[in-house]
Amino acid sequence: MTFNGASPDAVARLATEVAEAENADVLFFSGAIESPWDQEFTQLVRAKHSRPNVILMLTTYGGSADSAYRMCRSLHNHYPEGTISLFISTVCKSAGTLIAVGMDELIMSDEAELGPLDVQLMKTDEVFEWTSGLTPVQALTSLRTETFKTFEHYFLDLRLRSGMQISTKMATTIATRMSIGLFRCIYAQLDPMRLGEYQRAMLIGHYYGARLVRANLTESALEQLIAGYPSHDFVIDRIEAADLFNKVREPNEKELLLANLVHAEAERTLKKRSTATTKYLSETLSPGVNDEQKLGDIDEEIGGSATPAGRVSNQTAGDCDSESLRSGRNGLDEAAAANRDGEPVAATPKAR
């Protein structure tokens, strides 16, 4: 794995500090939510889970709803009594949002984004082109609305403009024929079998979501995620997510630093599109190592100067803004900066 100016050991030590603070394993996954990566994920969780809670650091553009369901279920199975948190520092779209539905808590940075759950289907007779499963459903709704409006317009126009000389029956017959004539060719283009396929595909989000949903999801939020947004790429940021989920919070200082250190690896995997990386970042530290020693070891690796209290001092601001942390393309812009009053300000990951 590639980290922004830090060795794997330093990242593991920092991840372990995060793990010990929350009594949670720290699990990293970046890439496509597809087979066989979902199997690698579930096998790793089964073999390596050790603490009662877990923080999943997830970066993905999405993938298979089936794979997302299997991955989320594996966390439910192996952390049955604990808190399952999802940490999003950049993108977690589509099938990644389905995993979010099954979480007890969302941790979202300023740049984090979820996306709608409408199923994407390959366009007929096209290569590498996809369309939302909502498209034909919304097309039918629009056609039904426009057909009725057209019928209503002709009917009322015939009755009123004739001074009621045209009977209701005659006006109805004429308006019906005119409406059919206008919309017949449009309706003829619709394939009932294809529409049925779209309808069945759209049920995937409903059925998987209903099985994964935890108390964290608000009422009617699942339906909103499936059919309430105009685009599959719609950005659901932390503020929007707070209307859909009960527990959404910002990451703390150490979580932000960890996210920035693994950012380069997450981006590298995303660029490949057809692969994924999964790993437990947390480990058990040697006994007798105190907080100052642990933070000092991390400081040696990443060029920072963390304090035992987890605060970033003004001196750290200069140290963390070193070449070691700027080596990643979208790495840590600055780990901390002094504000006008001299108080430390925590850094946030840069957007993709």
| 158-206 per-position pLDDT tens digit | 999 999 999 999 999 999 999 999 999 988 888 887 777 777 777 888 9
Q: Name the band, by pLDDT with cuts 50, 70 and 90, for residue 296.
A: low
* Residue 1 included in any domain: no
* Tokens encoding 170: 């005659």
* Tokens encoding 110: 């300023």
Q: Which of 339, 336, 343, 341 is nearest to 256 (CA)?
A: 336
* Residue 69 included in any domain: yes
On whether the CB atoms of residues 15 and 50 are closer than 8 A, the answer is no
DSSP-derived 3-state class of residue 248: strand
- Cis status of the peptide bond prior to 36, with omega within 30 of 0: yes
Q: What was the pLDDT predicted at 197?
A: 76
* Residue 352 included in any domain: no
* Tokens encoding 142: 């629009």
Residues in a beta bridge with 120: 132
State which of 257, 280, 303 marks the end of a domain.
280
Percent of the chain with pLDDT over 70: 75
Window from 11-20, 230-239, 334-343 with minimum mean pLDDT: 334-343
Residue 219 confidence (pLDDT) above 60: yes
The answer to whether residues 109 and 221 belong to one domain is: yes
* Tokens encoding 149: 């409006």
Q: What was the pLDDT predicted at 325?
A: 35
Q: What was the pLDDT predicted at 298?
A: 54
- Please tell me the total count of domains within the chain: 3
Sign of CA dihedral 263, 318, 285, 82: negative
Percent of the chain with pLDDT over 90: 56
Residue 47 confidence (pLDDT) above 90: yes
* CA atoms of 175 and 149, how far apart (whole Å): 11
Angle at 308 between CA 306 and CA 311, to 5 degrees: 55
* CA atoms of 115 and 87, how far apart (whole Å): 15
State which of 177, 194, 211 marks the end of a domain.
194
The answer to whether residues 97 and 227 belong to one domain is: yes
Window from 100-114, 172-186, 227-241, 325-339 with minimum mean pLDDT: 325-339
State which of 170, 194, 218 marks the end of a domain.
194
3-state secondary structure 230-275: CCCCCCECHHHHHHHECCEECCCHHHHHHHHHCHHHHHHHHHHCCC
Q: Helix, strand, coil % (nearest 5) of the chain?
A: 50, 15, 35
Residue 285 confidence (pLDDT) above 60: no
The answer to whether residues 19 and 44 belong to one domain is: yes
* CA atoms of 190 and 75, how far apart (whole Å): 42
* CA atoms of 328 and 247, how far apart (whole Å): 31
Residue 329 confidence (pLDDT) above 60: no
Angle between helices 8-22 and 253-261 (to 10 degrees): 150
What pLDDT, in 10s, does the model give residues 116-127? 988 766 666 666
Q: Which residues contact 202 (CB under 8 A, 6 or more apart)?
A: 118, 119, 133, 134, 137, 226, 227
Domain span at 87: 8-122+201-280
* Residue 2 included in any domain: no
- Please identify which residue in the block is written with the tokens 């200069």: 318
